[in-house]
Amino acid sequence: AQSVTQLGSHVSVSEGALVLLRCNYSSSVPPYLFWYVQYPNQGLQLLLKYTTGATLVKGINGFEAEFKKSETSFHLTKPSAHMSDAAEYFCAVSEGNTGKLIFGQGTTLQVKP
């Protein structure tokens, strides 16, 4: 069965600092991986996704993630945090042919001035 683990339920960075949100997955088949962002009282917005091809994936708002099969990881990074990046971030893996998403527990990103 597929699963996702996000290391760190809360991450706090200073404005302008590097953002690193960790995600490890478990999958018996080549995974489709996603990062979603959720602002308070909003739905989930897709930041980026990995399906096949290039392992470094660029998304919206300056975020990127690298798929590392050997480490079963899909960590999310951004070189310089902005106050507007404060939100909840969810890593997810797609479950085979059903299309269902298996979510990690979420990481709350706090950005300090």
Partner 1 sequence: DAMVIQNPRYQVTQFGKPVTLSCSQTLNHNVMYWYQQKSSQAPKLLFHYYDKDFNNEADTPDNFQSRRPNTSFCFLDIRSPGLGDAAMYLCATSRPPGGTAYNEQFFGPGTRLTVL
Binding stretches for partner 1 (CB under 8 A): 32, 34, 36, 41-46, 49, 51-52, 90, 94, 96-101, 103-106, 108
Q: Toward partner 1, which CB reaches closer, 32 or 77?
A: 32
Q: Toward partner 1, which CB reaches closer, 86 or 101?
A: 101
> Which position has the token pair 């980026």?
48
Minimum CB separation from partner 1 for residue 104, in Å?
7
Quote the CA–CA distance of 10 and 109 in Å, as a whole number: 6
* Contact in structure between 4 and 25 (CB atoms under 8 Å): yes
Strand partners, 69: none
Minimum CB separation from partner 1 for residue 38, in Å?
9
Write the CB contacts of 43 (distance below 8 Å, at least 6 apart in sequence): none
**Which token pair is 103?**
């979510």
Minimum CB separation from partner 1 for residue 64, in Å?
17
Q: Toward partner 1, which CB reaches closer, 45 or 80?
A: 45
Question: For residue 92, which phi and psi values (nearest 5 degrees)?
Answer: -145, 150
Minimum CB separation from partner 1 for residue 16, in Å?
27
Quote the CA–CA distance of 73 and 5 in Å, as a whole number: 9
Q: Toward partner 1, which CB reaches closer, 17 or 102?
A: 102
